[in-house]
């Protein structure tokens, strides 16, 4: 079926400043998950296309890496302005391709713009340590240099935002980029290429489309790529890390999450439940930092489950083309089946308090769901659902809350809700997550790093730490006497 809104779009990919088909001429169909209809065809690329893109990026690197931070900063600022000017168009396209509510998709664009502006400014602040004679008669200096061609592999959950997070620091540091969006959501990355074509020199940003198994694997294998930056599933990150070892590539891995939310007995329950209503289910729970795993204090557990259930029952979902709902669809039929399977298996030993079904309708939907009382070692607590499913467990004391919070293989983000300041900071120190929020969940800011511990990966997005990740340190020593 084709989407009735418009004809099916045909898109080419962007290599070396030109719009081209895949070398094989094959294409991939792109779906609108909110109604299950095909909305576009894009090139289905392979090894030859990757090679072409890497060569274009390597050629562009020769001049791009010689530009001053000021030059790159001005271009990134112009790119940010151009994206801002087309925010509504980008957001609407994202909504159609990812099944997100239209307004929510449009509201993601200022975040992309701010991120690019941050890196435009930060590019001008990078420095090595001061020069010195550490050995008599020898002058040492530290240079911070770009890596070369960066292969950026993006996920489907925030397609344009994740593309922006990758492109900003890589280009700011003087690298060139081959960007591969998810095969499910390539459309806004291609629009980004269209916008960038007016601003960046040819080959500085290349966008190629295709599957992870083909294009992604070929990028990881290609000796001309110096670093792979991937945001995706932890198993994908492990595969990439294994393959990248063959060429000893640098890696930037932003992988899965399973965020705990520790709610102590003194917290404001109505406030916390409202936070979870939004930040447990935002983007249909398809968010690596989603507030998905609530650990509630012994005195408030029952009341909290009831309060959260009341909140979650109010969440609306539906096709963004038919109205403004809190949630859109999930990304794919197979993903709904994965979520449904995990909820079904959780029913053994836990209670599904709200939701727990996939409605019969076109598109890929799953009801906002609350599960209470699951065992700490059960699949629903240990594995990433990446859907609109929040669990609530009862802990007995602070030590057990910390133990359970840490007892997963992930370590991306967490939060603590309490009015006891000492306890908040004590727990924030004890839990092993890359971001810990206190009396808050979800808020990001361009100046501060985002990235995981443990199997959530390594490397930081956002902040000056990302610029460090996208650069290499060189020691230059001169004999001066």
Q: Longest C-alpha distance within the chain, in Å?
A: 81
Q: How far is 192 from 322, CA to CA, in rounded Å? A: 27
Q: What is the rounded distance in angstroms from the CA atom of residue 461 to the CA atom of residue 33?
A: 28
Taking alpha carbons only, the member of 146, 156, 152 closest to residue 167 is 152
Query: Cα dihedral angle (73, 74, 77, 83), rounded to 10 degrees?
Result: -120
Backbone dihedral angles phi then psi of residue 142, each to the nearest 5 degrees: -110, 125
Which C-beta is closer to ligand NAD: that of 35 or that of 152? 152
Instruction: Calculate the alpha carbon distances from 200 to 73, 121, 176, 255 in Å.
Output: 11, 17, 10, 29
The residue (of 191 and 267) whose beta carbon lies closer to ligand NAD is 191
Rounded to a whole number of angstroms, the minimum distance from the CB of residue 315 to ligand NAD is 21
Tokens describing residue 313 = 């029952």
Which of 309, 332 has the CB closer to ligand NAD? 332
Of 3 and 287, the one with the shorter C-beta distance to ligand NAD is 287
Q: What is the DSSP string of 387-439?
A: SSEEEEEE-SSHHHHHHHHH-SSEESEEEEE-S-HHHHHHHHHHS--SEEEES
**Choice between 3 and 254, CB closer to ligand NAD:** 254
Annotated catalytic residue within 108, 288, 384, 455: 288
CB of 76 to ligand NAD, least distance (A): 21
Q: Is 288 a catalytic residue?
A: yes
Residues 173 and 129: their CA atoms lie apart, in Å, by: 17
Residues that bind ligand NAD (CB under 6 A): 153-157, 180, 182-183, 211-213, 216-217, 220, 230-233, 236, 239-240, 254-257, 288, 384, 386, 412, 452, 456-457
Phi, psi values for residue 244, rounded to 5°: -65, -20
Specify which residues 472 forms β-bridges with.
Answer: 145
Q: How far is the CB of 478 from ligand NAD (least distance, A)?
A: 41
**Spatial contact of 212 and 144, defined as CB atoms under 8 Å apart:** no
Active-site position among 108, 254, 367, 455: 254
Active-site residue, 254 included: yes
Q: How far is the CB of 172 from ligand NAD (least distance, A)?
A: 19
Residue 65 or 278: which CB sits closer to ligand NAD? Answer: 278
The dihedral formed by the CA atoms of 365, 95, 165 and 262, expressed in degrees to the nearest 10:
-40
Q: Cite the active site residues.
A: 254, 288
């Amino acid at each position: 079926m084709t989407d009735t809104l418009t004809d099916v779009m045909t898109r080419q990919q962007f290599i070396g400043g030109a719009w081209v088909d895949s070398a094989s001429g094959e294409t991939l169909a792109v779906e609108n998950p909110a109604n299950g209809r095909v909305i576009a065809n894009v090139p289905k690329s392979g090894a030859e296309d990757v090679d072409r893109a890497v060569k274009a990026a390597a050629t562009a690197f020769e001049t791009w890496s010689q530009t001053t931070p000021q030059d790159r900063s001005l271009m990134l600022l112009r790119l940010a302005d151009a994206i801002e000017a087309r925010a509504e168009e980008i957001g609407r396209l994202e909504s159609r391709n990812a099944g997100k509510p239209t307004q929510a998709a449009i509201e993601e664009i200022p975040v992309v713009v701010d991120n690019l502006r941050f890196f435009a400014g930060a590019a001008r602040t990078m420095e090595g340590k001061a020069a010195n004679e550490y050995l008599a008669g020898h002058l040492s200096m530290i240079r911070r240099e770009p890596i070369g061609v960066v292969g950026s592999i993006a996920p489907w959950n925030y397609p344009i935002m994740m593309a922006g997070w990758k492109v900003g620091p890589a280009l700011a540091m003087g690298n060139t980029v081959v960007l591969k969006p998810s095969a499910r959501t390539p459309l806004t990355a291609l629009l980004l290429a269209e916008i960038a074509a007016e601003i960046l020199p040819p080959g500085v940003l290349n966008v190629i489309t295709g599957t992870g198994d083909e294009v992604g694997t070929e990028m990881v294998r290609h000796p001309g790529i110096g670093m792979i930056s991937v945001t995706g599933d932890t198993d994908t990150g492990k595969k990439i890390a294994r393959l990248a070892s063959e060429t000893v590539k640098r890696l930037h891995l932003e992988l899965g999450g399973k965020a705990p939310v520790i709610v102590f007995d003194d917290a404001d329950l109505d406030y916390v439940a409202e936070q979870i209503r939004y930040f447990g289910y935002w983007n249909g729970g398809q968010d690596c930092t989603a507030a998905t795993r609530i650990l509630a204090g012994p005195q408030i557990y029952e009341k909290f489950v009831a309060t959260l259930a009341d909140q979650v029952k109010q969440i609306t979902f539906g096709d963004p083309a038919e109205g403004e709902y809190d949630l859109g669809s999930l990304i794919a039929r197979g993903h709904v089946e994965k979520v449904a399977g995990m909820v079904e298996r959780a029913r053994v030993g836990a209670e599904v308090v709200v939701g727990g079904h996939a409605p019969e309708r076109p598109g890929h939907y799953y009801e906002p769901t609350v599960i209470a009382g699951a065992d700490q070692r059960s699949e629903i607590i240990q594995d990433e659902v990446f859907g609109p499913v929040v669990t609530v467990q009862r802990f007995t004391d602070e030590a057990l809350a910390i133990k359970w919070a840490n007892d997963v293989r992930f370590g991306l983000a967490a939060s603590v809700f309490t009015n006891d300041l000492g306890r908040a900071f004590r727990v924030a120190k004890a839990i092993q997550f890359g971001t810990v929020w206190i009396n808050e969940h979800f808020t990001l800011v361009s100046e501060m790093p985002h990235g995981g511990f443990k199997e959530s990966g390594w490397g930081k997005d956002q902040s000056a730490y990302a610029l460090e990740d996208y650069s290499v340190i060189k020691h230059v020593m001169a004999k001066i006497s």
